[in-house]
Structure 1
Amino acid sequence: MKALVSREVGGPDTLVLADMPDPTPGEGEILVAVEACGLNYPDVLIIEDKYQMRPPRPFAPGGEVAGTVEAVGPGVSAFSPGDRVVGVTGHGGLATKAVLQEESAYALPDGFDAKDGAGLLFTYGTTIYALLDRGALKAGETVLVLGAAGGVGSAAVEIARAVGATVVAATSSDEKAAAARKAGAERSVVYGRGPLDKEASKALAADFKAAVGDAGANVIYDPVGGDYAEPALRAIAWEGRYLVVGFTAGIPRLPLNLTLLKSCDVRGVFWGAFARRNPAANRRHVAQLFTWWGEGKIRPHVSRTWPLAEGGTAIAHLGSRQAIGKVVVTMD
């Protein structure tokens, strides 16, 4: 098989397209002929040994795939060769073949494109767990979404709208703000590039407060962190829920006196651990996502695709924080 592999610690330019032995599915595993691989921010980190998981080299990055089952290992009952699936690999997705645990794969319904399917699980799986389970979001509430034009951010806009919430999108450019409003956000705020000094932080907090209204944001969805976290927290509602989703701008330090003043919660979101600990609940979430997709309430926003040989360029594009929507590599 062909794979884009990391043989040494480094950035996307260190990845090499290579011929690798075809993998063989073991107990409870399926072998998938990959058609498309969705990229996520962990793929930027994993090749630089900055992610919590450090697979032995050589390995291919790429944590989610869509394709067709080619073979199944002993004990597999849910899938057969020829089935179309999407699934989570952790790594190994940037290859023409990948092995998945049966429990980490989901049937891709007829009529759903593999390219879009490769952009579903990480972003929408994280977000439905974040907003519904961790955020307890209800119809009529207000959500402030940071990084609202990125993969998880655009998913948050759509899912919040699907449950009847009002969405305020925060983005780093007017172009991204327009994309977030197209996805369903009612209002938007454009923030400048960090680092933010004290006055810029206060000004951004005022912008957030004006956008979410006097009552504040019931839920704040933050995959960005960095200097944007504190201004967002200052715009939270009484007994609001601040969701810690990721740190594309760095790990923030939050003044905990704000949580006392607003009687609010700061809640972590670790979708991967949730999916492992409660697979039945996660499957219910995925089933809901396919229902919403079929109803037209959500759809993965694949902004651009690259062929496998240019997967390093795709990862670099994602790492630049310029991507709008989802970045996908296809096995053309």
Structure 2
Amino acid sequence: MKAVQISRFGGPEVLKLVELPTPVPGTGQLLVRIRASGINLADALTRQDRYAVTPPLPAILGAEAAGVVEAIGGNVHGFAIGQRVAVPLFAANSLGAYAEYVAIDAALAVPLPDVISFEQAAALQIQGLTALYLTRQASPKGKIVLINAAAGGVGSILVQLARRAGARKVIAGASSSDKLDFARSLGADAGVNYTRPDWTEELRRVTDGNGPDIIYESVGGDVTGASLTALAPLGQIVIYGALNIQSFQLGVGELLGLIFKNQSLTGFAFQPLLTPESLRSGLAELFDLVLRGELVATVDGKYPLAEASKAHTALEGRGTRGKLILTP
């Protein structure tokens, strides 16, 4: 089979198309022919050895995919050859989705409705579940919320889910007017460009001087610090995404602000919240919303395996909207 592999850490150029043996499904496993694989910022960080876990090399990246069951291992029930499935490798802390085939524990594979495309299924896994669980951990109901990186994979879904969950006002934060227009098309009421020096003043203006009640923050660095200062009294800032831990420092001034304004700073990672049951129910909910036309999973670009390095370059250039997909 063809797969994209790294044998050293570095830039997008370390992603190489190679020929490898096709996996054989073991007991309790399915062999899936991949039709679409999701690309995530975590993949780029792993490629650079900047992620929380360093994989042994050589490694095939990618933690989410969708495809068709090609073979079934022993002691597997409830699946058939040719069945369409979502392949959430991340649920087992596994990689290997940048390939034509992958083996996965049958207990983690999720049946895929015929009307959900493979590309949509890939887009709704890591980023869709992250957005869904964020709205559960910090409910936007009746609140003014700011969603930074609102045009990205998580942000574009979070804008829609926050609106659906009853947010009083949804404000998009992004780095360009085009991205803000995209977020508005998904349901954002207003937008602020956090690359501008006066962006927090604009944020106060669109929140009638109070600031947001909840800020979903994944940009890091100065944006995190400025978001914290713009937060409303009694407000909550929820930080998710690996980049934040590398570029944001919390000092005495910020702590005093939290104390005297009765604010809270919350960390979020969806991986520890996953169980086989919550994985299946969460994806089923997201698939159902797409089926009913209440959620759009935007795919901004599709790349063949041979152009994985080009896809990573586009992702890191931060000019994309929604999800990037690899198609074997």
Task: State the partner residue of 2:248.
Answer: 252
1:116-155 paired onto structure 2 within 5 Å:
116-132=120-136, 134-138=137-141, 140-155=142-157
Tell me, yes or no, if the aligned pair for 1:224 and 1:247 is still in contact at 8 Å. no
Quickly say closer, same or farther: Cα 1:261–1:210, change in 2 above 3 A. farther
> Please, what TM-score do these two structures have when normalized by structure 2?
0.92
Q: Is this contact kept in 1: 2:116–2:287, CA < 8 A? A: no
**Is 1:224 paired with 2:229?**
no
Question: For the structure 1 residues 136 and 164, does the alpha-carbon distance in structure 2 shift closer, same or farther, using more than 3 Å as the test?
Answer: closer
Q: Distance in 1 between matches of 2:270 and 2:247?
A: 18
Q: What does residue 236 of structure 1 align with?
A: 231
Q: How does 1:174-189 map to 2 (within 5 A)?
A: 174-189=177-192
Query: Which piece of structure 1 moves more, 39-48 or 205-214?
Result: 205-214
Distance verdict in 2 for CA 1:60–1:191, change over 3 Å: same
Distance 1:299 1:76, change over 3 A: farther
Secondary structure of residue in 1 paired with 2:23? coil
Alpha-carbon deviations, 1:202-259, whole Å to 9, x = none?
x333222222333432221111111101211222233322111115475312322222
Alignment of 1:7-22 (within 5 A): 7-22=7-22
- Cα distance in structure 2, aligned partners of 1:31 and 1:129: 29
Does the residue aligned with 2:312 lie in a helix, a strand or coil? helix
* Change in 2 beyond 3 A, CA 1:226/1:103: farther
Structure 1 residues 282 and 238: CA distance shift in structure 2, 3 A: farther
- 1:265 is matched with which residue? 264
The 3-state SS of whatever aligns with 2:188 is coil
The question of whether the paired residues in 2 share the 8 Å contact of 1:208 and 1:232 is answered with no
CA distance in 2, matches of 1:188, 1:69: 43
Matched, 1:104 2:108: yes
- Write out per-residue CA displacement over residues 70-108 of structure 1, whole angstroms, 9 at most, x where no aligned residue: 122233334222110112224211100012233332111
Unaligned runs of 5+ in 2: none
CA contact (8 A) 1:4 1:15 kept: yes
Q: Any idea what the Cα deviations from partners look like across 1:156-179, whole Å, max 9, x if unmatched?
A: 101111212121001000111111
Q: Which moved more, 1:243-252 or 1:290-299?
A: 243-252
**Does the CA-based 8 Å contact 1:212-1:235 persist in structure 2?**
no
Counterpart of 1:93 in structure 2 is 97
Do residues 170 (structure 1) and 145 (structure 2) align? Answer: no
Give the percent of matched residue pairs that are identical in Structure 1 and Structure 2: 34
1:313 aligns to 2:310 (yes or no):
yes
Q: d(CA) in 2 for partners of 1:121 and 1:294?
A: 15
How far apart, CA to CA, are the structure 2 residues paired with 1:27 and 1:262? 55
What corresponds to 1:212 in structure 2? 207
Alignment partner of 1:303 out of 300, 303, 320: 300
Q: Report if the CA contact (8 A) 2:139-2:165 is conserved.
A: no
Aligned CA distance change for structure 1 residues 262 and 104 (closer, same or farther; 3 Å): farther
Matches within 5 A, 1:32-43: 32-43=32-43
C-alpha separation in 2, matches of 1:119 and 1:217: 28
Q: Which residue in the other structure is 2:320 paired with?
A: 323
Q: 1:54 to 1:81 in 2, by over 3 A?
A: farther
- CA contact 1:274–1:282 (8 Å) conserved in 2: no
Tell me, what secondary structure is at the counterpart of 1:118? helix
Q: SS of the counterpart of 2:213?
A: strand
Following the alignment from structure 1 to structure 2, what is the Cα–Cα distance between the partners of residues 104 and 259?
40
Note if contact 1:37-1:329 (Cα within 8 Å) is conserved in structure 2: yes
CA separation of 1:113 and 1:148: change in aligned 2, threshold 3 A: same
Could you tell me which residue of structure 2 aligns to residue 196 of structure 1? Answer: none
Once the two structures are TM-superposed, the CA of residue 119 in structure 1 deviates from its matched residue by 0.8
Question: In the alignment, is the contact (CA less than 8 A) between 1:204 and 1:231 conserved in 2?
Answer: no
Query: Which AA in structure 2 matches 1:251?
Result: S
Aligned equivalents of 1:72 and 1:38: distance in 2? Answer: 23
Alpha carbons 1:153, 1:223 under 8 Å: kept: no
Judge conservation of contact 1:168–1:188 (CA < 8 Å) in 2.
yes
Alpha-carbon RMSD = 1.7
Taking a change above 3 Å as real, the CA distance of residues 304 and 258 of structure 1, as seen in their structure-2 partners, is same
Instruction: Tell me if the contact between 1:61 and 1:93 (Cα under 8 Å) persists in the aligned partners.
Output: yes
